[in-house]
Structure 1
Amino acid sequence: MSLSEQYEAKVRPYIDLIDSLRVFGVEKDIALPAIAVIGDQSSGKSSVLEALSGVALPRGSGIVTRCPLELKMKKSRQRDFWHGKIKYKDIVIDITDPADVERLIRNAQNEIAGALGMSDELINLEVTSTNAPDLTFIDLPGIVRVPVKGQPEDIGEQIKSLIKKFITKQDTIILVVVPCNVDITTTEALKMVHKIDLTGERTLGILTKPDLVDKGTEDEVVSVINNDIIFLAKGYMIVRCQEQQEILDRTPLYEAIEMEKIFFIEHPHFRMPYKEGKATIPKLVEKLTLELVLHIEKSLPQLKEQIQVMLAETQTELDRYNSGPPTDPEQWMDFLTDKITAFTQDAINLTIGEETKSVPHVNIFSTLRTQFNDWKTDLDISEMTFNKGIEKEVKEYEEKYRGRELPGFINYKTFEMFLKDQIKQLEKPAISRMKEISVLIRKEFIQLAQSNFMDFPNLLKMTKIKIENIKQLMESEAESMLKTQFKMELMIYTQDNVYTNTLNMHREEEDERQSHGVALPRCNRLYNHSDTEATLEELTHHLKSYYSIASNRLADQVPLVIKYMVLQESAVQLQREMLQLMKNYNINDLLEEDYEINIKRNNLKSRQKRLMEALDKLVLL
């Protein structure tokens, strides 16, 4: 099997897998294996990437790379083929001439970061070429120590912070570029890598500019290549990139590769690293490709797990968006009928305490029970207030208004007046509570509508209008019923035996309190020892007893009115009007789907498909 065939069989599937995930944008959610390129300013980073990609990148003095550049290279099977594409922000530009790449990158950086600024916003450059390797690099700004005029004083720290953002990811291979003509122990890039990749397992060193090495220092460079100075688990490679004049002369790639090869073969010190496969751009490509494949293989179990988690999350999100309307118009009526039936059934279930399908675990009765308990508490407080104040009020009324009746006779008008005044005070709180509960019920109905019709804004809008109209109608009818109920309560009536039993119960309770010394003796409770006092005491007993009966009656009757009119009848009326909706409105308008939801659903389906394909590839690998 040829080297090319071995590559296609063993290497290409791994590269394709990561590239397909990167195209999809999975790297936003999943850390994908990548190669990040770092180095001190003017270390030769751009020259290395140019040699690998075959395109000219921005060069010059000062900080040239001011935004991270994702350089994705794809090998084309077509002869003499080249095509590029640059993407940043919402801009996508196709490139047909490699000579345009440098200018377009500079324009992108200026637009993103200004003339001198820095940004962590990514610029994507995709190059498909006959001569390109299947590799993806992230080119990061060169580390500087002294800012140039117009740049912030902390520009060096900004750059380091940006670099750390990329190289701290455990799935990233670090390509650290160091020129041969400097003391490698003083380079900021290697110092930084040593702090982050403590064991050096993720780092590959690239030595550049071997033609600029001072005579007599070649052995030191060889020691670095042999991993004797600063140890890196992946070791070091040495390359000689094209000189500026060669680039300006547009020296063909095959010639540049041959010239590099001759340089190392003829060099007395560097010919050995060449023989050991540690020199030249082609050997670097082989090394990087194999390192990336090994790195991907190591990451596969975790990657598979992450994709499975993301698939589950995608399915859960998809479930929220339903399936959308059928494409066949003849099926629209059945689809709409099913949607409306499901919604109205949810509304009915809400009123009888059954589980709703669209909004699980909704129970309006727990809220109603609290509201009705609060209403009963209001009545109990009212009764206690009434009982505490009635003796004083009866005494004052007796002094001012008692008529011609003899002692021992109870004035019925007095009895009626006290009760009516107190009962009237309960009407307004009852109506207020009914309206408060009506708002809560409307909120629950709208929640059901939003869950059932979230994809269809016109249908949802019409449903909300109907819910609001029904709320107003049922509130009005419930208020009318409550007012009628209070008018009836002002008639002062109850069954004789009910009244007698309640009166006797109150008397027994009073006697019980007296026997325990809680109450004063009857003869001393009001004024002196007169028959008038006995009459007033008897009147007080009657008032308290009847008010207790009326209070208990209202404790049930008001909630019954609210449950019947505001809850039950609202749901029934909503069901009627929703069925009428299908007859009175254009079905096409009602089923017009929300554009953003449609796009979101399609994107989720696309994501799901791609993740499943990626998972299938992982299983095969």
Structure 2
Amino acid sequence: MEALIPIINKLQDVFHSVGTDIIQLPQIAVVGSQSSGKSSVLESLVGRDLLPRGIGIVTRRPLILQLIHNDLDNHHTKTIDGIDIVSKEWGEFHHNKNKIYTDFDEIRQEIEAETERVSGSNKGISSEPIHLKIHSPKVVNLTLLDLPGLTKVPVGDQPKDIEIQIRELILKYISNPICVILAITPANTDMATSEALKVARDVDPDGRRTLAVVTKLDLMDAGTDAIDILMGRVIPVKLGLIGVVNRSQQDINNKKSVSDSIQDEVAFLQKKYPSIANRNGTKYLAKALNRLLMHHIRDCLPELKTRLNLQAAHYQSLLSSYGEPIEDKSATLLQLITKFSAEYCHTIDGTAKYIETTELCGGARICYIFHETFGRTLECVDPLGGLTQIDVLTAIRNATGPRPALFVPEVSFELLVKRQVKRLEEPSLRCVELVHEEMQRIIQHCSNYSTQEWLRFPKLHDAIVEVVTSLLRRRLPVTNNMVNNLIAIELAYINTKHPDFADACGVMHSSLEDQRQNHPRETPNERAVATGEGTEGSQCGSQSFSASSFPEGRAGSWRGMLKTPQDLLQVPVPVKLSARELRDCEVIERLIKSYFLIVRKNIQDTVPKAVMHFLVNHVKDCLQSELVGQLYKLDKLDDLLTESDDMARKRSEAEDMVTALQKDGKMIAEIRETNLW
């Protein structure tokens, strides 16, 4: 079981090399208030002075301290000024792998420099850890996480919310359920108010993974002792309490060695607490932490294996989704073009692999445009919309010329029906526009279901969008011209012999005959008005003018009112139409309505067919050949298949994670269950 801690250290190194903390590893986090003796405890465990000291916050970044036990014959040789210096104790930083530190003062300086490099010099903190390995025959295999000391009041240029920042940083690490909490509390303070125990209890209310260390036993008031505290009678902690004696500031100033301090600690405990001296002190703490960490790792190992396997499968799947490195660019480009073309056509045909369930798209939306949007719009067009009886009567009169007509002139019908048919042109062109917009939207729809590929090759995606957009843009005026021609065809020849129109005329004629039989004949005055006859005054159109028609009451005064030719155009139209005029208008309106419905039915049928032939089907048939012709060129291969920086970075990260997880999996697999007990 002794091999467990070195394996966890290796796992820690592997995951740090890929810059991630997706797998939480078992570790011991050291928590305590400022000046509680955290640094002294850690230095006692190492046996050397190596941590920065000072006023205020000194530890401003987490320090992952890996203690690696060396045999006495294991050493490191360093050459200085041509002289080989053999050292059995040395350190190394993960951020500076190529350098070995045999001078522990230099290690302290490097910790300070690396802290300021990331956290700055304004006493701010950072969650990015520093990794330090210490190789020594004086240490036991142990991994410790030194966290910034808890504080209450900002000092100097510290941030105003420094207390909250430190607390959140500590909670980030100790909230990990497989993290053992080493709570440092000085003996010369009230244990009930210990900030370290309080923050530990927030995440570990049962105290199952909290070990308390009571420091500064030698600084208690005269006549008092910590026997009740160390026996767990004051604050019970399930993993126990261990008391230690720290070096005083005077000892540190006087360069008192850690080894001498440990000897004095043993003597103090034997004298002050003889009954429990063997269960306290730095040496006992080191062995207890080593044993505790090994058992903790053993308990966490099954879950750790499971998480490693799950993460390995996840990142392997993620790596596969990013695509393999390109070997044959020509084949890859042709494959991507073909895939996009097929997906585009399948979306129109309704056979796409991914069917949208939240909204209509592709061919379904085009069908909706044809039969719902366009069809209903045409049905809402009133055959007689914008046409008044005065307009009809004016057209009839203009078509008869100077002579009164015995029958309704056909020219007036043709003139008016063309005017109404022309109104179908705008909704027909709008139908083309809506289908064109949907064809454009299909591009984005296809891109959404090939996100990884288009994120990987953004230039290829942009080029495909440009080619398809250009093809659609070229087909739009062709389709519009065809629709305009359909309307022009209807306007070019008014087929009054159309079977449906002939039937409607027959029905209308019978209706008018019945109406004449059921109404009295016109009076002479009405007939005179209808035929333009009269004996007094002059007529213009159907209006009979007499002297009584004007305010002056004189027959000749109206001639002075018509001074210019334009005035002749403004002759008033009668407000009340005669019975014959009403029948003529009714005949024309019925004929217009009957013929308009025939044309509308034709347009409603032929416009969608024209759009399908000239736009939709043409794009489907020509899409792949258009893309190949525009993009499949040797001089464009490298540029189109250039991966985005973001995708290349993600693939590299996924590859590193897969490699790291596989390596860690092999390390864990080498551990036999028989070696855990």
- Indicate if the aligned counterparts of 1:408 and 1:534 stay in contact, CA closer than 8 A: no
Q: Which residue of 1 aligns with 2:125?
A: 119
Deviations 1:51-89 (A, max 9, x none): 3344521212222223444444555675325232265xx
Q: State whether structure 2 residue 221 is matched by structure 1 residue 172.
A: no
Q: How does 1:347-496 map to 2 (within 5 A)?
A: 347-356=344-353, 363-372=361-370, 373-381=372-380, 383-384=381-382, 386-390=383-387, 392=389, 394-398=391-395, 401-403=398-400, 409-445=407-443, 448=446, 451=451, 452-493=453-494, 496=497
CA distance in 1, matches of 2:104, 2:506: 103
| Cα 1:242/1:207, change in 2 over 3 Å | same
Q: Which residue of 1 aligns with 2:651?
A: 601
The 3-state SS of whatever aligns with 1:490 is helix
What displacement does 1:321 show?
1.9
Q: Which residue of 2 aligns with 1:84?
A: 92
CA distance in 2, matches of 1:420, 1:360: 44
Q: Which residue of 1 aligns with 2:278?
A: 275
- Indicate if the aligned counterparts of 1:358 and 1:448 stay in contact, CA closer than 8 A: no
CA distance in 2, matches of 1:48, 1:366: 73
What displacement does 1:212 show?
3.1
Q: Which residue of 2 aligns with 1:259?
A: 263
Q: Which residue of 1 aligns with 2:196?
A: 189
CA distance in 2, matches of 1:115, 1:47: 24
| Cα 1:228/1:324, change in 2 over 3 Å | same
| Cα 1:505/1:60, change in 2 over 3 Å | farther
What is the letter of the counterpart of residue 44 of structure 1? G
Q: How does 1:154-169 map to 2 (within 5 A)?
A: 155-169=162-176
What displacement does 1:44 show?
0.7
What is the letter of the counterpart of residue 66 of structure 1? R
Q: Which residue of 2 aligns with 1:7?
A: 2
Q: Which residue of 1 aligns with 2:332?
A: 335
RMSD, aligned α-carbons: 4.0
Q: How does 1:492-531 map to 2 (within 5 A)?
A: 492-493=493-494, 496=497, 498-500=499-501, 503=504, 530-531=579-580
Q: Which residue of 2 aligns with 1:537?
A: 586
- Indicate if the aligned counterparts of 1:407 and 1:532 stay in contact, CA closer than 8 A: no
- Same amino acid, percent of matched pairs: 24
Normalised TM-score (structure 2): 0.74
CA distance in 2, matches of 1:279, 1:387: 106
What displacement does 1:129 show?
1.8
Deviations 1:514-555 (A, max 9, x none): xxxxxxx999xx977723323322221221222222222222
Deviations 1:230-254 (A, max 9, x none): 011111122335556766787777x
What displacement does 1:45 show?
0.7
CA distance in 2, matches of 1:502, 1:32: 91
Deviations 1:362-416 (A, max 9, x none): 94122223333212222222x23x4354454654535763525876744333333
CA distance in 2, matches of 1:116, 1:531: 102
- Structure 2's unaligned 5+ residue stretches are 76-87, 513-517, 521-574
CA distance in 2, matches of 1:502, 1:39: 102
What is the letter of the counterpart of residue 200 of structure 1? G
The answer to which of 158-167 and 299-308 deviates more is 299-308
Q: Which residue of 1 aligns with 2:215?
A: 208
Normalised TM-score (structure 1): 0.80
| Cα 1:603/1:112, change in 2 over 3 Å | closer
Deviations 1:561-583 (A, max 9, x none): 33333332223333113333334
Q: Which residue of 2 aligns with 1:550?
A: 599
Deviations 1:170-218 (A, max 9, x none): 3332211112233323333223334443222221101222343444323
2:32 corresponds to which of 32, 36, 39:
39
Q: Which residue of 1 aligns with 2:54?
A: 60
The 3-state SS of whatever aligns with 2:55 is coil
Q: Which residue of 1 aligns with 2:323?
A: 322
What displacement does 1:453 show?
4.6
CA distance in 2, matches of 1:95, 1:389: 95
The answer to which of 37-46 and 104-113 deviates more is 104-113
| Cα 1:203/1:488, change in 2 over 3 Å | same
The 3-state SS of whatever aligns with 1:268 is helix
Larger radius of gyration: 2
1:104 corresponds to which of 97, 101, 110:
110
Q: Which residue of 2 aligns with 1:516?
A: none
Deviations 1:485-514 (A, max 9, x none): 222232245695553388389979x99xxx
The 3-state SS of whatever aligns with 2:60 is coil
What is the letter of the counterpart of residue 99 of structure 1? D
What displacement does 1:149 show?
4.0
- Structure 1's unaligned 5+ residue stretches are 1-5, 512-520
The answer to which of 128-137 and 358-367 deviates more is 358-367
Q: Which has the higher helix share?
A: 1
The 3-state SS of whatever aligns with 1:585 is helix
- Indicate if the aligned counterparts of 1:86 and 1:123 stay in contact, CA closer than 8 A: no
CA distance in 2, matches of 1:49, 1:376: 83
- Indicate if the aligned counterparts of 1:72 and 1:124 stay in contact, CA closer than 8 A: no
CA distance in 1, matches of 2:263, 2:197: 29
- Indicate if the aligned counterparts of 1:260 and 1:280 stay in contact, CA closer than 8 A: no
- Indicate if the aligned counterparts of 2:33 and 2:149 stay in contact, CA closer than 8 A: yes
What displacement does 1:325 show?
0.9
| Cα 1:389/1:74, change in 2 over 3 Å | farther
CA distance in 2, matches of 1:111, 1:14: 28
- Indicate if the aligned counterparts of 1:51 and 1:242 stay in contact, CA closer than 8 A: no
- Indicate if the aligned counterparts of 2:44 and 2:282 stay in contact, CA closer than 8 A: no
The 3-state SS of whatever aligns with 2:148 is coil
| Cα 1:533/1:196, change in 2 over 3 Å | same
Q: Which residue of 2 aligns with 1:518?
A: none
CA distance in 2, matches of 1:482, 1:389: 23
What is the letter of the counterpart of residue 41 of structure 1? Q
What is the letter of the counterpart of residue 468 of structure 1? T
1:570 corresponds to which of 600, 607, 619:
619
What displacement does 1:469 show?
2.2
- Indicate if the aligned counterparts of 1:446 and 1:467 stay in contact, CA closer than 8 A: no
- Indicate if the aligned counterparts of 1:408 and 1:531 stay in contact, CA closer than 8 A: no
CA distance in 1, matches of 2:320, 2:355: 11
Q: Which residue of 1 aligns with 2:637?
A: 587
CA distance in 2, matches of 1:324, 1:315: 15
